[in-house]
Amino acid sequence: MSLRLRLTMLYSLFMGGILLVFGVVVFFLINVILLNQVDTMLANVVHDITKVMRVNAVGELNLISLPPLDMASNAYVQVWGQDGKLVTASPSISALTEPLDADALKTGKTLYHDSWVYAVHLRVLTVPLIVGTHKIGTLQVGTSLTVVDASQRALLSVMMVVAIVAVALAAIGSWALLGRATDSLEVITNAVDQINHADDLSRRIPSSGRRNDEIGNLVESVNQTLERLESLFTSQQRFLADVSHELRTPLTVIKGNVDLIRRMKQADEESLTSIDQEAGRLSRLVGGLLMLAQAESGKLALNFAPVELDLLLTEVFTEMQVLAKNKVTLHLNDIDQVIVNGDRDRLKQVLLNLVANAIQYTPQGGEVFLGLAKIGEQVRLTVRDTGPGIPAEDLPHIFDRFYRAEKSRTRSAFSGFGLGLSIVQWIVEHHGGQLKVESKVGKGSTFAIWLALLR
């Protein structure tokens, strides 16, 4: 069953229920009010009659005459003696020999009661006539309830018609209104279906003229999801393209060299070196990719422990002298003794990456400075070089995977794949730290890592 039909039925049932309760209450209320009026009229008539009643010396009823009854009251009167005989009755029912209300007459109590006499519905007030402690007879005053019954029937029919019309209108109205809402849902479903079938994540659900309501919010949320999916999908595609590109070049070089060796029937040193270098690049690329994949899937666990950063920096400084030798001068200055909470191996990897970049991109004769300072509750590690600097338009992207600032993408045996800084950033962020870079083209670059001081 469709949502539209279900909700329409629910609304109609609800409306019907409310009208039913309302109708029952109104019906009984009006019934009570009408009967109350009739009862008051009967009580007045009884009052008028008892005023003109006398009792003779023997104790018998002596009704001088029935008072002229109000014509509108339309009341019938019977006076019954103790012997069960009719003493007197109003002219309109003088031929009637039965009591207006036989049941009430037997009880001998003051009683308002409904009764039927020859298929006429009556309301009868029965009153015992008592002199002193002695009961001398019973007075019954009745009136026809035909008008009251007719009013009730009319009220019932009107209420039934109103209820049916109201429920029908509620059903039609909610069906129409819900139609508008479900139409919007259908538009969304169709749009999402089209996106699925066409495999086109760049499509969006049209939100033209949509109100600021739940449906409008849904459209916006779905469009935002599509936006995100599209960007993830594009970045995945770009990533695959980049990986393939990076893999293809070294493989082509290796294959070319192997072909050469095969044709020459001897392995020359140059080919072997080239194969060796390219294989080295490949394994570095695969290593970097593996690490990024582990990092992104949350499988790269960091083993936190207190790390003496000054010792770690000195260690890196010593190791990197080999790489810097004959090319740039490495300086280690201004180091404070600091301890941070971190994964020593990963922090070392960060430093090695930054220093390797500085050495690699700084031309012959340049300088690289390593620094470590305690600033308030924080630690700042810096790697500054006097290299070419990074153009402002490249700065926001150097932490992206496979991004390399040098336009020509010239490759040397030592040039990277643009993965190093992505890994560095991941590690620093997962240490709760910040990685900042300042660079001026022609002057050099400074990479700074801010971490929380342990002591």
Residues in contact with ligand ADP by the rule CB under 6 A: 357-358, 361, 385, 387-388, 390, 398, 403-406, 415-422, 445
| Sign, CA torsion 385/391/396/398 | negative
Q: Which is nearer to ligand ADP, 12 or 422 (CB)?
A: 422
Please report how close the Cβ of residue 450 comes to ligand ADP at its closest, in angstroms: 18
- Nearer to ligand ADP by Cβ, of 123 and 404: the residue is 404
Q: Which residue is nearest to ligand ADP (CB)?
A: 416
| 8 Å CB contact between 355 and 368 | yes
* Nearer to ligand ADP among residue 140 and residue 357 (C-beta): 357
Please provide the distance, in angstroms rounded to a whole number, between the alpha carbons at the two ends of the chain. Answer: 67
Q: How far is the CB of 401 from ligand ADP (least distance, A)?
A: 8
d(CA 403, CA 424): 14
Cα 138 vs. chain centroid, distance in angstroms? 75
And the tokens for 164?
């049916």
Kindly list the strands in the beta sheet with 75-81, ordered across the sheet, starting from the edge strand earlier in the chain.
86-89, 75-81, 134-144, 120-131, 111-117
**Shortest CB 397 distance to ligand ADP, Å:** 8
Please say which residue, 18 or 405, places its beta carbon nearer to ligand ADP.
Answer: 405
**Nearer Cβ to ligand ADP (344/404):** 404
Q: Rounded to the nearest whole angstrom, what is the least distance from the CB of residue 367 to ligand ADP in the complex?
A: 12
Query: Closest distance between ligand ADP and the C-beta of residue 447, in Å?
Result: 7
Distances 190 to 82, 181, 197, 198, 221 between C-alpha atoms, Å? 90, 14, 10, 12, 16
Q: Where are the beta strands (DSSP E) in 279-416?
A: 305-308, 329-335, 339-342, 367-375, 378-385
Min dist CB 420 to ligand ADP, Å, is 3
- 358 vs 362: CA distance, rounded Å: 6
Which of 374/411 has CB closer to ligand ADP? 411
Beta bridge partners of 138: 80, 128
By C-beta, is 80 or 361 nearer to ligand ADP? 361
- Minimum CB distance to ligand ADP, residue 323 (Å): 13
